[in-house]
Chains A and B, each alone.
Chain A
Amino acid sequence: MKRFVAVAVASLLALAACGESSSPAVPGASPQQSEALAKAPVADAAEILPGSTMEKIRQRGELIVGGSLDAPLLSQQNPVSGEVEGFDAEMGKALATYILGEPKVKIVNSASETREALLANGTVDVVFQTYTITEERAKQVAFAGPYYTSGLTIAVKKGTTGIAKPEDLNGKKVLAGANTPAIPAIKKLAPQAEILTFGSDPECIQALKQDRGVAYVQDETILIADAKKDPSIEIVTKPFTEDPYGIGLKHGDDQFKKFVNDWLKKIQDAGVWQGIWKNSIGTVVTGEAPQPPGIGSVPGS
């Protein structure tokens, strides 16, 4: 009963906060997103161990998350409301709810070259940023999760022939997002491909349409969203890699890692994970939420 009251209060607070931030003229997606968060569990006082990272976060009153502000469907700042929306962003809010009882999150815009340092020096508590778990990275940061599995796929301009699998990219000009896992993946599967990278997804799409490259390799979710928006683009393969996304934590903080893994299990059992998926990635991928990957199921996690 006590927990129920806490959840109810938290959700009311969340709704109230949304009401304040979004202007009345633009009905944003925020209230709907909060519905998934409303069910988000809150940790028992006994789980916040004295002297632990979670206690420090609770005393500070907000969770500091390293994340992107420009990743569509995952973590993108809505220019109208200023809210950061998407799967990663909502996961951060759910974790904040678990620790603090309310979704108070501060997102520090991190990049692939800064996130290890930001975790190591304590600038951020956690990283939710399509952070693929690899053994090299696991030497420097701890990974909770994986909390989501994605894969790379290939998009081409409609009518392009001769590209049906990653190996077909050999000897061709291929577009990819700068600093994405697509670059090493293309190098591995199609070593003779010439890779051309751009900073953002819209730039890659523009380059594809201007024939700067014949194919564009990117995360399936993002490409599905692109193909929905732009009918001149089509996706030609099923995902050909498996990228398990982990929650980046400070290296060696086993207590916090266990705490986050326990939370992940709880939100998956409670259907919160599925609700967040539906509200973000589920808006472009049809069907029910997929089975979440097993916690600790990949090397490095």
Chain B
Amino acid sequence: MPVLFEHLPELWQGLIVTVQLTAASFAGAAVLGVLVCALRVSPVGVLRAIGTAYVETFQNLPLLVLLVLAFFGLPEIGLQAPPLATAIIVIAVYEAAYIAEALRSGVNSVSKGQGEAARAIGLTFGQSLRHVILPQALRTVVQPLGNIFIATAMNTALAAAVGVVDLTAAAHRVNLVEAQPIPIFVGAGVAYALIASVAGFVTGRLERRLVILR
């Protein structure tokens, strides 16, 4: 245990990076996910195809492959970003596919009559999505979105592959000097568990407040 306290500054810095990565990439993924979901339920065939292609591409490629490809591959065509920015963008793009699918299941749970009523009173597709469908859809998918948030937090550990010193990378570095993997990685694990349980607690509260009982 003393080994954890001796290296608290490094591990704390790693935890901050992990929280930054999680928050920024989840925010990005949420925005992008809503857009992709809108594409997937749109009445225009081409847009639906684009949405489907996006989801299939990013759900079927491992995040590690995407990270390494983006970090080492994009500079070859002149696109180079710092490690943290690269990691945030790639994780956001990847998780957006999952958020889009969770949202789509929410959209499908809104009864057809709602959409038809919205069109009947003259709302455009965008308006009906924004004012009628999505507000109801979002309420039913609070829990799945919470799960995606937790998965995002865990997935940020892969950012170490592109040189970001997150909590996992910081734990590796401390262990390299101290050679005491059990206390160090248990400590890091507890920090991840705390992030996940806070997320679980918040989504639980949100769900109770927002859910529509049908």
A residues bordering B, Cβ < 8 Å? 112-114, 116-117, 134, 136-137, 140, 178-181, 183-184, 196-199, 203, 206-207, 210, 212
Contact in complex: A113, B172 (CB < 8 Å):
yes
Q: Knowing A117-B182, A137-B179 touch, does A198 contact B161 (C-beta < 8 A)?
A: yes
Contact in complex: A196, B163 (CB < 8 Å):
yes
Interface residue tally for chain B (C-beta within 8 Å): 22
Query: A113: which of B72, B75, B185 is its contact (CB, 8 Å)?
Result: B185
Contact in complex: B175, A113 (CB < 8 Å):
yes
Cβ of B181 within 8 Å of any chain A Cβ, yes or no, is yes
Q: What are 7 inter-chain pairs, A to B, with CB distance below 8 A?
A: A116-B179, A178-B169, A198-B162, A198-B163, A203-B68, A207-B163, A210-B72
Contact in complex: A179, B177 (CB < 8 Å):
no
CA–CA, A116 to B182, complex, Å? 10
Residues of A within 8 A of B68 (CB): 203
CA–CA, A254 to B178, complex, Å? 23
CB distance from B66 to the nearest CB of A (A): 15
Q: Which of B108-133 contact A (CB under 8 A)?
A: none
CB distance from B168 to the nearest CB of A (A): 10
Contact in complex: A206, B177 (CB < 8 Å):
no
Q: Knowing A196-B83, A203-B72 touch, does A183 contact B176 (C-beta < 8 A)?
A: yes
CA–CA, A89 to B165, complex, Å? 31
Query: B177: which of A140, A184, A197, A207 is its contact (CB, 8 Å)?
Result: A184
Q: Knowing A112-B176, A206-B72 touch, does A197 contact B165 (C-beta < 8 A)?
A: yes
Cβ of B80 within 8 Å of any chain A Cβ, yes or no, is yes
- 19 further A-B contacts with Cβ under 8 Å, apart from A112-B176, A178-B172, are A112-B172, A112-B175, A113-B175, A114-B181, A117-B181, A134-B179, A140-B179, A140-B180, A178-B160, A179-B173, A196-B83, A197-B160, A197-B165, A198-B162, A198-B163, A199-B161, A207-B163, A210-B72, A210-B80
Report the tally of A-B residue pairs with Cβ distances under 8 A.
53
Residues of B within 8 A of A137 (CB): 179
CA–CA, A212 to B179, complex, Å? 29
CA–CA, A199 to B165, complex, Å? 12
Residues of A within 8 A of B83 (CB): 196, 212
CB distance from A115 to the nearest CB of B (A): 9
CA–CA, A136 to B174, complex, Å? 12
Q: What 1/0 mask marks residues of chain B from 154 to 193 whose CB sits below 8 Å from any chain A CB?
A: 0000001111010001001101111111100100000000
Residues of B within 8 A of A197 (CB): 160, 163, 165, 169, 173
Residues of A within 8 A of B180 (CB): 140
Residues of B within 8 A of A198 (CB): 161-163
CA–CA, A197 to B71, complex, Å? 13
CB distance from B85 to the nearest CB of A (A): 13
Residues of B within 8 A of A181 (CB): 176
Contact in complex: B161, A179 (CB < 8 Å):
no
What 10 A-B pairs are tightest by C-beta distance, nearest first?
A196-B163, A113-B181, A210-B75, A137-B179, A113-B175, A206-B72, A184-B177, A179-B176, A116-B179, A179-B172
CA–CA, A184 to B178, complex, Å? 11
Contact in complex: B169, A116 (CB < 8 Å):
no
CB distance from B170 to the nearest CB of A (A): 11
Find the A residue at minimum CB distance from B10: A187
Contact in complex: A136, B179 (CB < 8 Å):
yes
Residues of B within 8 A of A117 (CB): 181-182
Residues of A within 8 A of B176 (CB): 112, 179-181, 183-184
CB distance from B64 to the nearest CB of A (A): 10
CA–CA, A181 to B175, complex, Å? 11
CB distance from B171 to the nearest CB of A (A): 8
CA–CA, A114 to B176, complex, Å? 11
CA–CA, A117 to B180, complex, Å? 9
Contact in complex: A136, B178 (CB < 8 Å):
yes
Find the A residue at minimum CB distance from B75: A210
Residues of A within 8 A of B179 (CB): 116, 134, 136-137, 140
Find the A residue at minimum CB distance from B173: A183
Find the A residue at minimum CB distance from B162: A198
CA–CA, A203 to B161, complex, Å? 9
Find the A residue at minimum CB distance from B178: A136
Residues of B within 8 A of A203 (CB): 68, 72
Find the A residue at minimum CB distance from B3: A136
Residues of A within 8 A of B163 (CB): 196-198, 207, 212
Residues of A within 8 A of B165 (CB): 197
Find the A residue at minimum CB distance from B68: A203
CA–CA, A136 to B160, complex, Å? 25
Find the B residue at minimum CB distance from A182: B176
